[in-house]
Amino acid sequence: MCGIVGYIGKREAFPILLSGLKRLLYRGYDSYGFALINNGKEIVCFKKPGKLDNWESRLLKMKFEGKIGIAHSRWSTHGEPSELNAHPHWDCQKNIYLVHNGIIENYQTLKSILEKEGHKIISETDTEIIVHLIEKFYKGNLERAVMEALKLLEGAYGLAVVHKNQNRIIAARKGSPLIIGIGKGEMFVASDAAAILKHTKKVVYLKDGEVANITANKFRVRNLDGKKVEKEVEEIKWTLGQIEKKGFKHFMLKEIFEQPESLENALRGRLKQSKIKLSLDIDINSIKRIIVVSCGTSWHSALITKHLIEGFTRIPVEVDYASEFRYRRPVVKKGDLVVGISQSGETADTLGAMREAKARGAKTLGIINVVGSTISREVDSGIFLHAGPEIGVASTKAFTSQLMTLSLLALYIQQERGNKVNREILRELKNIPSKVEKILENTRAIKKIAKKFKDSKGFLYLGRGVNFPIALEGALKLKEISYIHAEGYPAGEMKHGPIALIDKNMPVLFLATKSCTYDKIMSNIQEIKARKGKVIAVVNRNDKRIRKIADYIIEVPKTEEYLSPILNTISLQLLAYHIADLRGIDPDYPRHLAKSVTCE
Ligand code: F6R
């Protein structure tokens, strides 16, 4: 959450910071700001509430000079989006400027101490106290002052600091990602590789508790005790083309249409002559129980994982919200495998849950998209999704890649435990990318439904079994990007209460593809029709029975029931996308949201 980019080198920093920030908008867009050191004389600072895009052309006309600078795009935690609360923040003398991601939990205590000492704190943010602490400790050595200040902080931070008279950027992290980008005679600092990919692919990942002292030609990293830390330079595999819109109106739409390819990538090299190849550092035979933890859309993948693993292997699986798991003293022990699912690999709750599990003696496995992310580095073993960068705030291609990867994992556990592997599913996995392509070839029915229901006050999504989590996911997609209230529910539970909501204005979307509960779903559709609800049904091609009773039909190709969530979710992504677009909402930047939630 929030984006940071910094530059030090021979070039003018402003255009580099501006283009970097634009790449980081998906991390927060409540306000933005820059601070540039102008020839070692003064610091120029500019910040505004609102989204950077609205100001870009005016900013480009202003001449901000300086070869060292830091910039920030904010997702508000403490204090509303305003100019005062926007980053960078500065000290009393306006010598030191700082940008920060994360939350400082003891900021109130520190604030009263600082105020008693005469510091004037002008914003409502937790961030501002950090820069005053640095000022307090500054005696000519910025790195040392930052370290002293950090020792007093409780909470999370990824931060970058500059001082008017110092040719350097000091960067530090604890719980919020930060990387150093290495160029020729220039260096970058960023919360996210996307911000600097245009300039370099060579990066160093900072770990929690590390502080980097960065000049144009070199960097050094120390821990908070001042001990030097050797760092490895790594190469980012993503290309610039992958983070462009490529002619699509929105990143979300592009990413929906990328799914045939991202699903192929999830399979690539992992299926060989009916054998599943996953290199896991885990003794599969010693697993007694599996616990899956994650958040949001990734939590919906976790719910489906329970069906897959229990269905294929009979190993008991528990699913938990990562944010709940951490704080309820979970019963976790040796013999448990804790699986963390996360697109970003940075979600604070999931990271915290995985650390908790490890501390309690469980083995940990990460199902992650972003290579180099914190969770992927800390788990005992991991499987990458290879979905490519996901920029749209609403997760789409990462979700289907999770489902594909988790299906492989369930089959792999079956295989490694010497059980007969489910051949039909194994065979069908390879057909999924082309079936997704078929759905994407004709989206007319979905657009028509979007037009019809774009002004609805509410939506219900109903499913059973392995498609109940898809009902939850369809509802989440709709509410987060269109702001229409939507609820996902198990279809069989309607009669226990929510059916009271049904009237002629209520659209009810059923996941009604072929399954072991198909006849039950038929009855549930009848129950809604009898109460005049409007039924939209996702069905298999040539389904004549439901076609007769549903008001609207979305057809998808037939597949194995366990894999049907992958196909069924595509139409729901498109439906949410088109409704948001028709309502004039930019689905890439829905209000109050940000990609990669690095605070609790
Ligand atoms: C919804 C969405 C979020 C994320 C959640 C977890 O469309 O994207 O609900 O799924 O914040 O994020 P990751 O998977 O990065 O841990």
pTM of the full predicted structure?
0.89
Instruction: Give the E-state strand segments of 274-400 in sequence order.
Output: 275-276, 289-294, 317-321, 336-342, 363-368, 381-384
Answer yes or no: do 300 and 391 share one domain: yes
Q: What percent of the chain has pLDDT over 70?
A: 100
Select, from the ranges 88-97, 233-242, 266-275, the one with the highest average predicted confidence (pLDDT): 88-97
Domain of 550 in residue numbering reads as 442-600
| 597, pLDDT greater than 90 | no
Across 152-177, average pLDDT: 95
pLDDT exceeds cutoff 80 at 333: yes
Q: Separation of 457 CA from ligand 1 center, angstroms?
A: 25
pLDDT digits (tens, 9 = 90+) for 370-382: 998 999 999 999 9
Residue nearest ligand 1's atom 9 by CA: 296
Residue 286 lies in a domain: yes
Residues 434, 467, single domain; the answer is no
Residue 27 has pLDDT above 80, yes or no: no
Query: Average pLDDT in the 330-343 region?
Result: 95
Domain with residue 178: its CATH number is: 3.60.20.10
Give the pLDDT of residue 39: 72
Taking only the tens place, the pLDDT of each residue in 382-434 is: 999 999 999 999 999 999 999 999 999 999 999 999 998 999 999 999 999 99
Residues 207 and 140 in one domain: yes
pLDDT tier for residue 135 given thresholds of 50, 70 and 90: very high
How far does residue 348's CA lie from ligand 1's centre (Å)? 11
Residues 116 and 256 in one domain: no
Choosing from 174, 363, 595, 599, the catalytic residue is 595
If asked whether residues 453 and 415 sit together in one domain, one would say no
Q: Kindly state whether residues 177 and 312 are assigned to the same domain.
A: no
How does residue 52 score in pLDDT terms, banded at 50, 70 and 90?
confident
Residues 81 and 221 placed together within one structural domain of the fold = yes
The confidence score (pLDDT) of residue 62 equals 78
**243 assigned to some structural domain:** no
Residue 75 has pLDDT above 90, yes or no: no
Same structural domain for residues 514 and 392? no
Whether 355 and 482 share a structural domain: no
Residue identifier of the C-alpha nearest atom 13 of ligand 1: 342
Residue 325 lies in a domain: yes
pLDDT at residue 273, rounded to an integer:
83
Taking the C-alpha atoms of residue 498 and residue 489, their distance in angstroms, rounded to an integer, is 9
In this structure, the residues whose C-beta lies within 6 A of any atom of ligand 1 are 295-298, 342-344, 347, 350, 394-395, 476, 480, 596-597
- Whether 264 maps to a domain, the answer reads yes
Our count of domains for the chain comes to 3
Looking at the predicted structure, is the pLDDT value of residue 321 above 70?
yes
Q: Does residue 476 share a domain with residue 332?
A: no
Asked if the structure places residue 241 within a domain, the reply is: no
* pLDDT surpassing 80 at residue 600: no
Q: Which whole-number Å values give the CA distances from 35 to 70, 87, 139, 414, 537, in the listed order?
A: 5, 9, 22, 55, 53
Is residue 53 scored above 80 in pLDDT? no
Question: Rounded to whole angstroms, how far apart are CA atoms 45 and 23?
Answer: 20
Determine the residue of 75, 191, 297 to mutate for testing ligand 1's pocket, defined as the one with the most ligand atoms within 8 A of the Cβ atom: 297
For a pocket test of ligand 1, which of 303, 347, 470, 478 has the largest count of ligand atoms closer than 8 A to its C-beta?
Answer: 347
- Report which ligand 1 atom has the smallest distance to the Cα of 295: 6
From residue 468, give the alpha-carbon distance in Å to each of 67, 324, 504, 511. Answer: 54, 21, 24, 8
Q: 354: domain CATH number?
A: 3.40.50.10490
92 is annotated as an active-site residue: no
For 482-508, the pLDDT digits (tens) are 999 999 999 999 999 999 999 999 999
Evaluate whether residue 488 is within a structural domain. yes
Are residues 522 and 412 located together in one domain of the fold?
Answer: no
Give the Cα separation of 556 and 440 in Å (integer).
10
Each residue of 425-467: pLDDT tens digit? Answer: 999 999 999 999 999 999 999 999 999 999 999 999 999 999 9
pLDDT at 238 exceeding the cut of 90: no
599 flagged as catalytic: no
For atom 3 of ligand 1, which residue has the closest CA?
296
HSE-up of residue 79 (Cα within 13 Å, Cβ side)? 19
Ligand 1 center–CA 299 separation, angstroms:
8
**Among 376, 409, 439, residue at a domain's last position:** 439
Nearest atom of ligand 1 to the alpha carbon of 477: 7
Give the ligand 1 atom nearest the CA of 396.
7
CA distance 527 to 501: 12
**Dihedral (CA of 74, 79, 82, 87) sign:** negative
278: helix, strand or coil: coil
Domain termination residue (choose one: 236, 267, 288): 236
Ligand 1 centroid distance, CA of 106 (Å): 27
pLDDT over 70 (residue 364): yes
Strand ranges of the sheet holding 96-101, from the earlier edge strand across to the other edge: 89-90, 96-101, 157-163, 169-174, 210-214, 219-223, 228-229
Shared domain check, 489 and 466: yes
Q: How far from chain centre, in Å, is Cα 456?
A: 28
- Of the chain, the percentage scoring pLDDT greater than 90 comes to 85
pLDDT for residue 295 = 97
Query: Which of the listed residues 252, 255, 294, 298 should we mutate to test ligand 1's pocket, taking the one with most ligand atoms within 8 A of CB?
Result: 298
Residue-averaged pLDDT of the chain: 94
Show which of 439, 465, 484 is a domain's final residue: 439
Span from the CA of 186 to the centroid of ligand 1 (angstroms): 34
pLDDT tens track for 301-314: 999 999 999 999 99
Nearest C-alpha to atom 5 of ligand 1 is from which residue?
A: 296
| Residue 141 domain flag | yes
Min mean pLDDT across 24-38, 168-182, 267-281, 440-454 is at 24-38
Residue 40's pLDDT band (boundaries 50, 70, 90)?
low
Identify the active-site residue in 2, 45, 295, 599: 2
In a domain, 242, yes or no: no
Sequence-ordered strand ranges (E) for 121-201: 157-163, 169-174, 179-182, 187-190
- Decide which of 377 and 26 is more confident: 377
C-alpha–C-alpha distance, residues 523 and 517, integer Å = 10
| Closest among 573, 572, 566, 526 to 545, alpha carbons compared | 526
**Quick check: 570 and 438 in contact, CB under 8 A?**
no
